[in-house]
Amino acid sequence: MSTEENIAKTIDGKTIAANIRTGIKEDVDKLVASGKRAPGIVVILVGDRQDSHTYVRNKKKTATEMGFVSIDCILPGNTSQEEVIEIVRKYNQMPEIDGILVQLPLPSHINEETVLNEIDITKDVDGFHPINIGKLAMRGRVPLFEPCTPKGCIELLLQSGVTIEGKNAVVLGRSNIVGLPVAMLLMNRNATVTICHSKTANLKEVVAQADILVAAIGVAKFVKKDWVKKGAVVIDVGMNTDENNKLCGDVDFNEVKHVASQITPVPGGVGPMTIAMLLKNTLISAMRRQGVEKL
């Protein structure tokens, strides 16, 4: 039987996100008290993916509780690309909207890059405008916004006392939404970063070198105990269902917790951070757009 000291510390994303939301709410109250308007955000959702609808519903509830003006634009799955672009352009022109989020993934008949290119870069609170991603990838450049889930992963590490500089970081997955941007954020904080994917040779051995492992491949319980170096910090971005139809991550939590030093659970790890980072980005945008340097 494992002794208590062999069990990883659970990184509590719910509590960390709640503390961040408290700070944002205080800042929104200060912004409004100073005579400025509350931050405004619109989410454009195309189609009927249940995970996307759940995220948007939670975002709306949280944003409203924190004093934001929150608009949801829910469109059927057969909405044309031209119609989506027209809606983006409409919100670009509305001064009371500080953030525009197009929920990804989009239906296959809509070109994601074309739509994201249309978002006013000063309202790109999701951080996926090609110019923001390009600046993230270049030394000496600073994007206006960092993508929310990757930014949340970094915040979890920082608030858990993890030193990133000089560490071997392995990112399992290379999606535009998580894998690539989180790798760039880690590199910008002076980690030595390896990005793994389906074509990586000796995948298990590469992952086992990680001091910091970010798993974002979308395969339930893919990472097992013998894949993880003793004492590693594990950030699990996966959101899957297991054989019992229960939510689980890309990491086999019950196995890996016996070798990792810290690990995020699913649910309750990275998930709550995404909305918190989105609202933080939107508050930053509202302050910039109203000429407020600090509160």
Q: Is 81 a catalytic residue?
A: no
Same domain assignment for residues 175 and 215: yes
Q: Is residue 26 part of a domain?
A: no
Q: What is the pLDDT of residue 5?
A: 58
Q: What percent of the chain has pLDDT over 70?
A: 98
Same domain assignment for residues 154 and 73: no
From 59, 123, 151, 257, active-site residue: 59
Q: Is residue 227 part of a domain?
A: yes
Question: What pTM was computed for the model?
Answer: 0.93
Residue 183 CB coordination number (10 Å): 23
Q: Is residue 4 part of a domain?
A: no
Residues 236-261 have pLDDT tens digits of: 999 999 999 999 999 999 999 999 99
Look at 20 and 53; give whichever has higher pLDDT: 20
From 27, 98, 126, 236, active-site residue: 126
Q: Which domain holds residue 240?
A: 147-271
From 103, 151, 167, 257, active-site residue: 103
In order of 142, 151, 235, 248, 260, the CA distances from 183 in angstroms are 16, 11, 13, 23, 20
Q: Is residue 113 part of a domain?
A: yes
Q: Is 204 a catalytic residue?
A: no
Q: Is 211 a catalytic residue?
A: no
Q: Is residue 134 part of a domain?
A: no
Residues with Cβ < 8 Å from 238, sequence gap 6 or more?
Answer: 215, 216, 217, 218, 219, 220, 222, 248, 249, 250, 251, 266
Residues 58-115 have pLDDT tens digits of: 899 999 999 999 999 999 999 999 999 999 999 999 999 999 999 988 999 999 999 9
How far apart are the C-alpha atoms of 196 and 181, rounded to whole Å?
A: 14
Structural domains of the chain, count: 2
